[in-house]
Amino acid sequence: MKFSFGVNMVLKWKNKLCWALVALLLALVIRPVRADHNQYLFEQANRLYQQEQYTEAIARYLEIINSGYESWQVYYNLGNAYYKSRQIGRAILNYERAARLNPKNEDIQFNLQIANLSVVDKIVIPPQFFLSRWITTIKMLWGIETLTFIVIGLYLLVAVLIILYILVRKRAIQRLVSVGLIPLVALLLLVTIILIVRTHDQNSVRDAIILSDKIEVLSSPDEQGTELFALHEGVKVRIEDTRENWARIRLPDGKVGWVKRDSFEII
Amino acid sequence: MKGKRIVPILILGIFLIMNAPLGLGAEIEISASVDRTVIGLNQPFTLTIEISGEKANAAGDPQLPDLSAFASYLGSSGTSQNIQIINGRMSVSRSFSFTYMATAIGKFTIPAAVIKYGDREFRSQPINIEVVASGQTPGTQPRRTPQPQPDQSLDAAIEDNLFLRVTANKRRVYVNEPVILTYKIYTRVSVTQFGINKLPETPGFWVEEFPGSNQPATHEEILDGKRYIVAEIRKMALFPTDAGTKTVSPMSIECDVRVQTRRRSIFDSFFDDPFFGRTVRQIVTSKPVTIEVMPLPLEGKPSDFSGLVGSFNLTVTADKQAVKTNEAITLNVKISGKGNIKMIPAPRLELPPDFERYEPKVSEKIDRTENGITGYKNYEYVIIPRYPGQQRIKPVTLSYFDLGTGQYRTLRSPEMLIDVEKGSDEFMTVATGLSKEEIRLVGKDIRFIQLASPEFKRIGHWFYQSAYFVLILLLPVVLIVVAAGYRRHLDKLAENVAYARSIRANQMAMKRLHHAKKLLSEKTQKQFYAEVSRSLMGFLGDKFNISAAGIITDEVENLMRSRGVNEAVIKQYLTCLQICDYQRFAPANSRLDEMQRFFEQAKQAIIELEKIV
């Protein structure tokens, strides 16, 4: 039996959309089996940490990460374990990684600050223009995953409002929607831009932490280069270029030089 | 023939033995004199015995008078000889100086000195002296005479016998190579006192003055056959600061000269007494000195050359070679040598960046000796390693221009290795470089680990990259399109009766057909056909938006044709309607299967029409 086109279409799609939504929810709720094992490793590592067996704890945390899964808690705890075993460079590296996933977490920031006190080099960062400081603050308000969900939430809210506006012909609701829609869309655009910038940063900007006790930063990517300055474990640098076994680094205060590639690890 | 006499007062107490006897002198003359006639107890005085005359050389040494009653012999303080040839005659004068120390107070007479020549004896006049208690030696201070009027003839006489001579050890030097200038008074007259009138101007030089003593040393020197008493009154090292020909302007000094007028008169003996001589104030001026300063060669000039000229040594020493972190090391950089010590620059000490360094303590010592300016400059650095490991202190270099070889030289201290061990107070290490606020934090520990079970995420997999994300983004778009479509439909329904009827035509027709189906039996034949007819007519009316009641069968054909319905469908539809009318009004028994067939036929007709309209 054939019915009128519009109704027909709606009915046809309703079914498919329902299934898609169900599938999506299932995908979000159901975790791979691996997660259970990681959960177990995580708890075991935490126990070892509490028994001050830091080396063993580190091994467990690393096992989780090497299995291809991450979470800010794992990085944070791993950073703690490294800090306790006096490996400042790796501690900072993992705190930074945790902060990437959860930039606003107070514990991460606090421990990162403590660990940075043990860094020998004191790099004076030239004061930023207030605007760019604000932009950085706003940019780093949330992690990429959180940003994604905020974008989705705002997007769905805007969509719901638009649908309401289309379907419901009540004056009060129409006015409410038309007033609320503009700021919501503006906010959605802003958050989307932040997300795009952050994902771009994630893929193109490479920050690294120096892990060698002490490295000499040379003027050119070969052993004969003039020694410009020395850096010690734990310093955060930006990797600008890599060439064979060498990488061009830039310090926050603008100093640039070449170091061996095995002396640092990218966050 | 050099001897030094110590004169204990500011005055240049030069007692001069004046000219050899003029004219036809005796064969031998002997005279004796003392530098002072009033002597403090335990103070030295000098007795000078002069032998002159044609045969003076031939005569032996004079016999010393015996002064043991009031003085002890300290030694000979020099002899001098002066040979003069005047009018073909040679006259020789020899003088012998002896130093004694007064040992008894009272008035004494120095007996005559005796010299033997052949079988003749020559004697000098005895001298009366007075020895007074120490500290009150009135005679030592010469009586100042009022400013004497310069006497032309006297001046001329003095001019030859008193002059200021300046000598430079070099006339051609490199920039920063020192020239030593020595100013000396040459005198054959008795200068009682002198003062510097005008200092030389030294433009283009940096001057290092040799310390002058208040009591210039004197010695005797023979110049052009004349015996002079010479006193060095000023000595300085000049370091030219740039190249070119430089002139040091003359220096002039003012001397008080005691003039012994020796006139052949009855008063001779009276005026011979030095204390009765006249004092003349005389200004003597040295000649200007011209020095040619050569620029340092450009060739081979080291980049770190800072103008150091001379010869130098560089030593770098550390008090410890192995330390723990945060222990201080004292590093000494000592540059010693000869040359412009004062210009030694602070050495460039290249420390590993971990080292904390403090401002160096600088000490210098400069010796001004006969050979020039020597000395050292020492930089004492306190350095503190902050980081363990073997630390390298790079060589310290110093470049200078070596005057000996005329080339540049670069000194390089050996590289120094310092083993830095990790100190025990590790945390304090960190704290030393921190501000107060940071120290406060150091005392704290890191926060505890997270115990709550985390949610794991695949590394490198982000939700924004997943298909779900795209789906979620698309879903509202689809929903909005659907909603918009539905809205249009609702709007049409509300605004357009014809549209609404047309949309509902199907439903109505089907409803009626459904109803008709219930009447599908032989007993309700008439009702069945009436119902089918109504549904057929109703569907038509709804579709074309006309009242179903007003339609008569004849009009149906025209109506349908005008709407462009094709003939086959019209015919099928009309046939159905005709059958209905026939069955309703001309009752005939129709069988159930016929009715069934008709029902299907009517339904088909409606569906066919639906398709077209």
* Ordered per-residue pLDDT tens for chain A, 267 residues: 344 444 455 555 667 777 777 776 766 655 555 667 888 889 999 999 998 888 899 999 999 999 888 899 999 999 999 998 888 899 999 999 999 888 888 999 989 988 888 887 777 777 778 888 888 888 888 888 888 999 999 999 999 888 888 888 888 888 888 888 899 999 999 999 999 998 888 888 788 999 988 888 888 888 887 888 888 888 999 998 888 889 999 988 888 999 988 888 888
Question: What DSSP assignment string belongs to A71-113?
Answer: -HHHHHHHHHHHHHTT-HHHHHHHHHHHHHH-TT-HHHHHHHH
- Which residue reads 């077209």 in tokens? B612
Q: Residue B198 in contact with residue B286, Cβ under 8 Å?
A: no
Find residue B362's DSSP bridge partners: B379
| Rounded distance between C-alpha atoms, residue B250 and residue B289, angstroms | 7
Predicted local confidence at residue A28, as pLDDT: 61
Among B475, B460, B470, smallest CA distance to A144 is for B460
Q: What is the pLDDT of residues B215-248, one digit of tens each?
A: 667 787 777 777 788 888 888 888 888 888 888 8
User: Which of A5, A69, A266 has the most B C-beta neighbours within 10 Å, making it the best mutation to test the interface with B?
Assistant: A69
pLDDT at B155 over 70: no
Task: Answer yes or no: do B469 and A148 touch at CB < 8 A.
Answer: yes
Nearest to B185 by CA among B269, B241, B257: B257
Amino acid at A135: I
Question: Mean pLDDT score of chain B, rounded to an integer?
Answer: 75
Which of the 8 DSSP states describes residue B515?
A: H
Residues of chain B with Cβ-Cβ distance to A18 below 8 Å are none
DSSP B575-605: HHHHHHHHHHHS-----HHHHHHHHHHHHHH
- Chain B contact present for A74, CB below 8 A: yes
B259 strand-pairing partners: B278
Residue that is written with structure tokens 């030696």 in the block: B137
Query: Contacts from A219-226 at CB under 8 Å and sequence distance 24+?
Result: A219/A257, A219/A258, A220/A258, A221/A246, A221/A248, A221/A258, A222/A246, A225/A258
- Please, are residues A235 and A121 in contact by the beta-carbon 8 Å criterion? yes
| DSSP β-bridge partners for residue B218 | B231
- A155 to chain B, any CB pair closer than 8 A? The answer is yes
Interface test with A, best of B426, B456, B489, B493 (most A CBs within 10 A): B456
Q: So what's the pLDDT on residue B114?
A: 82
pLDDT in the model for residue B146:
40
Q: How far is A206 from chain B (nearest CA, A)?
A: 14
Q: CA-CA distances (angstroms) from residue A79 to A45, A60, A84, A111?
A: 13, 13, 9, 9
| Chain A touched by B467 (CB under 8 Å) | no
Q: Does residue B313 contact residue B412 with C-beta atoms inside 8 Å?
A: no
What distance in Å separates the CA atoms of residue B528 and residue B520, rounded to the nearest whole number?
6
Per-residue pLDDT at B490: 84
Classify B551 as helix, strand or coil: coil
- pLDDT one-digit tens code per residue, B168-214: 888 888 888 888 888 888 887 777 777 777 788 888 888 878 776 66
Highest mean pLDDT among B152-156, B158-162, B264-268: B158-162
SS3 B368: strand
The two beta strands, B289-294 and B172-174, are parallel
Nearest CA-CA partner of A202 in B468, B456, B460, B463: B460
Q: Is the torsion defined by CA of A15, A18, A20, A26 positive or negative?
A: negative
> What phi and psi, each to the nearest 5 degrees, are found at residue B375?
155, -165
Decide: residue A176, CB within 10 A, 0-12 exposed, 13-18 middle, 19+ buried. middle
Predicted pLDDT of residue B380: 87
User: Which residue from A minimizes the CA distance to B451?
Assistant: A46
How distant is the Cα of B302 from the closest Cα of chain A, in angstroms? 20
Helix (H, G, I), strand (E, B) or coil at B376: strand
Which chain B residue lies closest to A118 (C-alpha atoms)?
B430
- B555 to chain A, any CB pair closer than 8 A? The answer is no
Strand partners, B382: B330
A125 touches chain B (CB under 8 A): no
Residues 383-442 of B with CB under 8 A from A: 386-387, 389, 430, 433-434, 438, 441-442
A254 backbone φψ class: left, alpha, beta (φ>0; ψ -120 to 50): left
- CA dist B141 to A52, B4, B40, B138, B218, Å? 96, 21, 12, 6, 19
Residues whose CB is less than 8 angstroms from the CB of residue B426 and which lie 6 or more positions away in sequence, other chains included: none
> What are the tokens at B6?
């110590």
Contact criterion met (CB below 8 Å) for B434 and A116: no
Supply the pTM of this predicted model: 0.41
Instruction: Give yes or no for a contact between B106 and B70, defined as CB atoms under 8 angstroms apart.
Output: yes
Burial of B356 (0-12, 13-18, 19+ CB in 10 A): middle
Structure-block tokens of residue B191: 């200068």
A contacts of B511 (beta carbons < 8 Å): none
In whole angstroms, give the CA distance from residue A60 to residue B341.
67
B chain contacts of residue A101, beta-carbon cutoff 8 Å: 457
pLDDT of residue A7: 46
**Residue matched to tokens 């001046």:** B155
User: Tokens 């119902």 map to which residue?
Assistant: B531
Query: How far, in Å, are A248, B173, B201, B239, B283 from residue B288 at the CA level?
Result: 66, 17, 10, 17, 16
pLDDT tens-digit profile of B412-467? Answer: 888 888 888 877 554 444 444 444 444 455 556 788 888 888 888 888 788 888 88
Torsional class of A222: left (φ above 0), alpha (ψ -120 to 50), beta (otherwise): beta
Task: Pick B480's closest partner by Cβ from A7, A46, A162.
Answer: A162
Separation of alpha carbons B545 and B539, rounded Å: 10
pLDDT of residue B578: 82
- CA B161, CA B186: separation in Å to the nearest integer? 7
Cβ atoms of A57 and A40 within 8 Å: the answer is no
Residue A87, chain B, CB below 8 Å: the answer is no
Give, in order, the Cα–Cα distances in Å from B114 to each of A237, A262, B55, B61, B127. 103, 104, 15, 9, 14
Q: Is the pLDDT reported for residue B17 higher than 50?
A: no
Number of A–B residue contacts, CB under 8 Å: 148
Here the ipTM equals 0.72
Q: According to the model, what pLDDT value does residue B451 have?
A: 86
Q: pLDDT category, B561, cuts 50, 70, 90?
A: confident
Give residues 223 to 252 of A whose Cβ lies within 8 Å of B.
229-230, 232
Residue of B135 and B519 predicted with greater confidence: B519
Question: Which pLDDT band, with edges at 50, 70 and 90, does B255 fall under?
Answer: confident
Map residue A60 onto helix, strand or coil: helix
Closest by alpha carbon to B579, among B593, B565, B595, B563?
B595
End-to-end CA distance of chain A: 62
Hey, is B214 helix, strand or coil? coil
CA distances B32 to B45, B46, B54, B92, B111, Å, are 13, 10, 18, 16, 10
Res B588: pLDDT: 62
Task: Give the integer Cα–Cα distance in Å for B210 and B367.
Answer: 9
**Mutate which: A122, A214, A266, vs B, most B CBs within 10 A:** A214
CB-based contact B528:B519 (threshold 8 Å): yes
Which residues between 506 and 535 in chain B have a beta carbon less than 8 angstroms from any beta carbon of chain A? 506
